[in-house]
Amino acid sequence: MKRKVITIDADKCTGCGLCIPNCPEGAIQMIDGKARLISDLFCDGLGACLGTCPEGAITIEEREAAPYDERAVMANVVKGGPNVIKAHLVHLRDHGQTEFHQQALAYLRNHNLPVPADAAPVTAAPPAGCPGMRMRDRTKAAPATADAATPVLASELRQWPIQLHLLNPAAPFFTNAHLLIAADCVPFALANFHHELLRGKTLIMLCPKLDHDQEQYLAKLAAIFSTQHIQSITVAHMEVPCCFGVRRLVDAAQKQAGSAIPVRDITITLEGTLHE
């Protein structure tokens, strides 16, 4: 069957091991000094490990793979003890994998193993797990106010297209540009995005977790950095861990291009505030 599974670029992997704790399924292990996917059966394809690799060596691809097997995963997970069991259950629950979560609980019951109290199913927003998937209901928050004196703001967008897949590294709007490289969610979270971040910049949009072919992204950014005179780069990403992949991609592209363009790194919180 075709499904999403992680892939690890052995040439990029430095063996730091930061991805290991973020794979509670035990699909990744260190072998011969490199992180390796030991079995398709153990990888759920949800990408909890994506935002943890400082080299951008982990991506998700859709390919022929054995179906994910929750029972096989649980047989592997329980070897790690209560904390690993809890991390796995919370991971499934907070990614909305209800069926797999129920299978995991059934495995524990069938093997007379205790169920962590704070890893049971919930009907409200979960208290832990992948921050990028965590539900937040802000419908009762005070709405932004406006009156007749509030000006209608003009768009600060200077070019089209803006999505990295569609951009041509040789486009003239990159010449002598100040770049804003932003994660897809940033403009929706930051109310004053055009005025605070976009003004005077050439925009590049991407998602480091959900977009496919990160290698193409790396090659395009490296081409822009090496063939155009870029004056500065502003990187804007959300506070959730997977979103920090935007900065890692920019750093990797600079290294590949042999460039040293100054970078300003900005984090946007889920409440819509800006931090540097």
Q: What is the pLDDT of residue 183?
A: 96
Q: What are the φ/ψ torsions at residue 258 (nearest 5 degrees)?
A: 70, 30
Q: Are 117 and 188 contained in the same domain?
A: no
**CA end-to-end span of the chain:** 44
Q: Are 109 and 177 contained in the same domain?
A: no
Per the structure, the complete domain to which residue 191 belongs is given by 164-275
**Residue 116 domain-assigned?**
yes
Q: Are 107 and 36 contained in the same domain?
A: yes
Q: Which of 60-74, 134-148, 186-200, 262-276 has the lowest mean pLDDT?
A: 134-148
**Residue 145 domain-assigned?**
no
Q: Are 16 and 86 contained in the same domain?
A: yes
Q: Are 180 and 105 contained in the same domain?
A: no
Q: Are 83 and 182 contained in the same domain?
A: no
Q: How confident is the model at residue 201 (pLDDT cuts 50, 70, 90)?
A: very high
Of the three residues 130, 150, 182, the one that is the final residue of a domain is 130
**Residue 202 domain-assigned?**
yes
Domain containing residue 91: CATH number:
3.30.70.20
For residues 77 and 73, what is the distance between their CA atoms, to the nearest angstrom?
Answer: 6
For residues 269 and 275, what is the distance between their CA atoms, to the nearest angstrom?
Answer: 8
Nearest CA to 238 out of 208, 264, 212 is that of 208
| 8-state DSSP, 49 | T
Q: Are 207 and 124 contained in the same domain?
A: no
**Residue 215 domain-assigned?**
yes
The tens digit of pLDDT for each residue in 124-145 reads: 444 445 555 555 555 465 665 6
Q: Total domain count for the chain?
A: 2
Q: How confident is the model at residue 54 (pLDDT cuts 50, 70, 90)?
A: confident
The tens digit of pLDDT for each residue in 98-133 reads: 888 889 999 999 999 998 877 766 544 444 455 555
**Residue 146 domain-assigned?**
no
Of the three residues 82, 107, 130, the one that is the final residue of a domain is 130
Domain containing residue 225: CATH number:
3.40.50
Residue 194 amino acid letter = H
For residues 77 and 86, what is the distance between their CA atoms, to the nearest angstrom?
Answer: 10
Does the predicted model carry a pTM greater than 0.75? no
26: left (phi over 0), alpha (psi -120 to 50) or beta: left
Q: Are 117 and 212 contained in the same domain?
A: no
For residues 89 and 120, what is the distance between their CA atoms, to the nearest angstrom?
Answer: 8
Q: Are 108 and 51 contained in the same domain?
A: yes
Check if the beta carbon of residue 235 is closer than 8 Å to that of residue 250.
Answer: yes
Q: Are 190 and 120 contained in the same domain?
A: no
**Residue 159 domain-assigned?**
no
Cα-trace Rg, the chain:
21
**Residue 22 domain-assigned?**
yes
